[in-house]
Amino acid sequence: MSTAALDTPTAQSRTATKQETPRSQENKPNWFARIVLGIVCLAWTVPTVGLLVTSFRPIDQINAGGWWSAILQPWNNTWGLQNYREVLGNNDMGAAFVNSIVVAIPATLIPIMFAAVAAYAFTFMQFKGRDTLFLVVVGLLVIPLQVAFVPMLQLFGRDGFDIIGQFVVVWLLHTGFGMPLAIYILRNYMATLPRTVIESAQIDGASHYQTFWRLIVPMSTPALASFAIFQFLWVWNDLFVALVFIGPGENAPITVAIQNNLLSQQGAGWN
C-alpha cells in the first residue's frame, strides 16, 4: 500500500509534464514569422526613409543620384532646409497644413460621436423598425459621393445656406458620408460585447446615458480607434470634396494647395 501511495504522485507528475509540454511549445516565439514581419516592415519603411533623405538635398543633387548614394556618401552631398523653407514660406503650404488639420479633426470626431450613439441604439435598445432602419443606413454605403454633389451644391450654395468655401461645409459632408460606415462598424462590434454587463448595469439602475459612457465607450475603444484612423486618412487625403466645396483661397487644405501652388507645366516641385 505504501509503495502504491508513493508511486501515485510520481505518475501524476509525469502526466502533468506530458500535458504541459505542448503548451510550452506553443508559447515559444515563431522566429520565421518574426523575420517575415521584420522584412515587410522594412519594405514599408524604406520609401519613407528615401523621402526624408531627399527632402534635405538640393534638386540638382537629387537628379544626379538616388537617395541611397547620399546615405553611402553623405560627405559628397549638400544638406539643408531649403526645400522646407520654399514649400512652407513661398507656397503657403504651412497655412494649408493647418487648414487640413482644422478640416480633418472635426470631420473625424463628429461622425464618431453620432455613430457611436446610433450604434448603441441599434444594438441595445428595442424600438419599432430598428432592423429596417439599420438596413437603410447600411444601404447608403453603396451611394457614391459624386451623386450628391449637385444637390449639396444647391443646398450649401447661394440658393441655400451660402456656406461654400467655409470649413463647416466640409465637416458636414464628411460627417454625412462617413456615418453609414461608422454605424456599421461600431454596431457590429458592440453586438459582440457581453450583454450580461449591460443587464447588470440596468439592474443596478443605470440609465442609457450612464451605460453608454461608462461601459460601452470604454469597451468599444478598438472599434472607435479603427474607424478614426480610416476616417482621418480619408479626409486628409481628400481632394475632390475640398476642391469643389472650399476651393483655392485662405481656407484651402493641403491637397488643394499642392494642386494649385506646386503642380505646373514645368513639373511638380516634388523635392
Label each residue of 59-127 as H, E or C.
HHHHHHCCHHHHHHCHHHCCCCCHHHHHHHHHCCHHHHHHHHHHHHHHHHHHHHHHHHHHHHHHHHCCC
pLDDT at 149: 80
Q: What confidence tier does 264 reach under pLDDT thresholds 50, 70, 90?
A: low
Q: Identify the weakest region by mean pLDDT among 18-27, 135-144, 150-159, 210-219.
A: 18-27
Q: Identify the weakest region by mean pLDDT among 2-11, 138-147, 215-224.
A: 2-11
Per the CB < 8 A criterion, the answer to whether 195 and 125 are in contact is: no
Asked if pLDDT for residue 104 goes beyond 90, the answer is yes
CA neighbor of 252 nearest in space, from 146, 87, 95: 95
pLDDT at 206: 80
Cell 419599432, located at residue: 128
- Greater model confidence, 94 or 232: 232
The Cα 194–Cα 197 span in angstroms is 6
Taking only the tens place, the pLDDT of each residue in 44-82 is 998 888 888 888 888 888 877 788 877 877 787 788 888
- Tell me whether residue 115 is exposed, middle or buried, using C-beta atoms within 10 angstroms of its C-beta: 0 to 12, 13 to 18, 19 or more: buried
What's the Cα-to-Cα distance from 1 to each of 12, 45, 236, rounded to whole Å? 17, 69, 79
Q: What confidence tier does 228 reach under pLDDT thresholds 50, 70, 90?
A: very high
What's the Cα-to-Cα distance from 47 to each of 39, 100, 230, rounded to whole Å? 14, 23, 22
Taking only the tens place, the pLDDT of each residue in 146-193 is 788 888 888 887 777 778 888 888 998 888 888 888 999 899 898 888
